[in-house]
Each structure stands twice: as structure tokens, then as C-alpha cells.
Amino acid sequence: MFLRQFKYLVAVVEEEHFGRAATRCHVTQPSLSSGIKQLELELGVPIFLRGRGQRFHGLTAEGVHVAKWARLIISHCDAMRDEIKTMQKDLHGSLRMGAMPSMSPVLPVLLQKVRENHPGVRVDVHFIGNEAMKLGLDNFTLDCAITYLEKADLGRRNYLPVYTEKMSLLVPDTNEFEGMTEMTWQDASKLPLAMLRPTMHERRFIDAAFKKAGCEVVPKVESESILHLMFQVQFTELCTVIPSHFTRMPGLHPGTKALSLVEPEVSQEVGLFWAEGETVMPMASVMVSIAKEFEKTGDLRRLLGEETRKRSKKTAGPVGAKTKVQGDLA
């Protein structure tokens, strides 16, 4: 068995076409097919379901397991090269990260550290949901992921808390809200609101807070974009609920102001996840070391307006821990 055969196999699975896979691997289609056929002969099992032409007809039951091992082998070979480069202070390559869209304002702070510490590393950020993050970590197309600790559904992973996300009420800066610095969830429910779509994690968390306060809301506008909701407040009479870090990064739009939401006060922890194992892959190790540095100094939490506090040194274990909720939304 040769590494190139595993690369051929993974290319076909990801491209779902033998011809495109051959182009991606810079070989002819007959050479790619021959390499995969030799791998099947060595293993003694068919990997692909056979059909006419170069179309992809799927994997056999054995092929699913072979493809998983192929990704693991390729990932470990890449990690070996990266580790050698790290020893030579010459780490290059792509750090592939999954993240929730609401974390986009915070990422530049983390990624700036990546560039400072490892100028040769290129960062590829994918804004995706938890299911896609889990798949990416499972098949080694992602090195790490940043998402909510509560019910992250990423399987058993190593994790490290990064920051705590709180919610603020964004309102027009008009006489109606003059002199106000906070508002209860119940009072906020009576305002005309623009909200995230119900399928999004943040919306479900917000709905749970309203429910805890004994009320429900029917928004006037729904969107998957927090920035769009902020524009709605800037240019119309609508209000919205946003993660509090958006008030600092990217910052408030002219004509808007943020109020703290109370009764209940709620928050949810955001963490960095990476594959479980005794050895941390070099690219994941880049983000782990940066997350640990920020946790030790408290710089990121201060930047986000959090009160710094001592935290547990535990950085690995099964995910499924409860989100910190003052007022208990569970």
C-alpha cells in the first residue's frame, strides 16, 4: 500500500467523480483507477460500488471504513511533516478551522496571534453548524473548531474555554431609551423586534431566555445575519438581541445603543475543540497554545468586557457540560 493510493481514494470520495479526482491528484484517470484497484486487491475487499462511466456510485460498507482510515493515515502523515517543520521553526501549511457565524468578530484577535507566532501558516475559516464541524473533525478536514460548549454535539473531544458570550438588547438611540442602561427580558419582549432565524443556535438560546421570563416574541423581521439585524435597528424602529461582543467588535452603528438584558442574566461559554488523543496535531496545537495564552492572561476576556477570573486547568473531556446560565434556562 502507498500513500498516493489513499490520496486517490479520498479524492474520489470528496469529488464524487473519478475524472475530477484524477485531475485533482495530477494523474491520468486510468492511473488513478489502477491505484485504487491495487488497493482493493491488497485489502481483499471492494471499496467502491461499480457502475458505468466515471460517475461516483458510492462506497461499499468496507469502503466506508477504508476511507476513514485513509483520511486518518493522510492526516498523520501531514502532521508528521508539520511537526518536523515546527522543530525547525518553519511551520507552513493550512490551519482549517470551523466556527459559528456569531464568533466572526472575535476570530481576528485569535488569528492575529497565529500570524505573529507562525507567519508561514495560512488560516482557512469555515462558518458552519455543529454537524458540519463534527464531520470535519471526524474526517480530518478540520483541525479545530470554535463553538458553544453547551450540547456541542461534537462527540468526545478535547476542549478549552475561550470566552463567555452574553446578550445585549440593541435599540435605536432615541428619546424613548434615553438614560437607560438595562432592560428586563419581559420588557424587551414588548418591543418591535428583528431576530435571528429559529433554526439558529443563538435564536434558540434567546427564545429560552424569553420563556424563562414568562413571555414569547413574534419578530417583525428574521434573518441569519446579525449584522443585518444591527442595520435594521440603525435605520428603522426595530430592536434586536445580539451577542454583547458585537457592541465592541465590530462596534455599535451610529444611531444605536446597547442595553444590558436582565431578569434573567444569561451567558453561554464558547470553547475551542480539537480531536481527542494523546498527541495534539501540530495545526491544532497552534490554536490550542494561543487559546491557553489568552486564558492565562485574560486579555481576550478583558477585550470583550468580561471580568477575568480563575478557571479550572482541565482542558480535555467529554463535551456536554451545561452552559453557564444565571437564572437556569435548562
Return the C-alpha cell found at 74. Answer: 493522510
Domain C-terminal end among 81, 116, 141 = 81
Q: What is the DSSP letter of 244?
A: G
Return the C-alpha cell found at 40. Answer: 482493493
Q: How far apart are CA 75 and CA 280, in angstroms?
A: 12
Q: How far apart are CA 44 and CA 216, in angstroms?
A: 60
Return the C-alpha cell found at 98. Answer: 470551523
Q: How far apart are CA 308 and CA 292, in angstroms?
A: 14
Backbone angles phi, psi at 32, to 5 degrees: -65, -45
Instruction: Tell me: do 18 and 58 sit in the same domain.
Output: yes
Instruction: Tell me: do 242 and 275 sit in the same domain.
Output: no
Q: At what angle are helices 29-43 and 18-25 packed, to 10 degrees?
A: 100
pLDDT tens digits for range 190-201: 999 999 999 998
Give the model's pLDDT for residue 319: 41
Residue 325, pLDDT > 70, answer: no
pLDDT tens digits for range 201-216: 899 999 999 999 999 9
Could you tell me the residue range of the domain that residue 72 belongs to?
3-81
Whether 218 maps to a domain, the answer reads yes
Backbone angles phi, psi at 195, to 5 degrees: -135, 160
CA-CA distances (angstroms) from residue 129 to 8, 72, 153, 243, 265? Answer: 28, 23, 10, 17, 26
Q: How many structural domains comprise the chain?
A: 3
Q: How far apart are CA 234 and CA 252, in angstroms?
A: 9
Give the model's pLDDT for residue 306: 80
pLDDT higher at 101 or 187: 187
Q: Is the peptide bond before 250 cis (omega within 30 degrees of 0)?
A: yes
pTM of the predicted protein model: 0.66
pLDDT tens digits for range 151-168: 666 766 788 999 999 999
Whether 323 maps to a domain, the answer reads no
Strand 182-184 to 256-262 pairing? parallel
Coil, helix or strand for 309?
Answer: coil
Domain C-terminal end among 267, 289, 310 = 267
Phi-psi category of residue 135: left, alpha or beta, with phi > 0 → left and psi -120 to 50 → alpha: alpha
Q: How far apart are CA 329 and CA 310, in angstroms?
A: 24
- Residue 131 sits in a domain whose CATH number is 3.40.190.10
Whether 326 maps to a domain, the answer reads no
Over residues 47-70, the mean pLDDT reads: 82
Give the model's pLDDT for residue 48: 87
Contact (CB, 8 A) for 123 and 95 = yes
DSSP string across 112-149:
HHHHHH-TTEEEEEEE--HHHHHHHHHTTS-SEEEEES
- 153's enclosing H/E stretch is none
Instruction: Tell me: do 224 and 300 sit in the same domain.
Output: no
Instruction: Tell me: do 113 and 55 sit in the same domain.
Output: no
Strand 156-172 to 239-243 pairing? antiparallel
Strand ranges inside the chain, DSSP E? 93-99, 121-127, 144-148, 156-172, 182-184, 193-196, 221-223, 239-243, 256-262, 267-275, 316-318
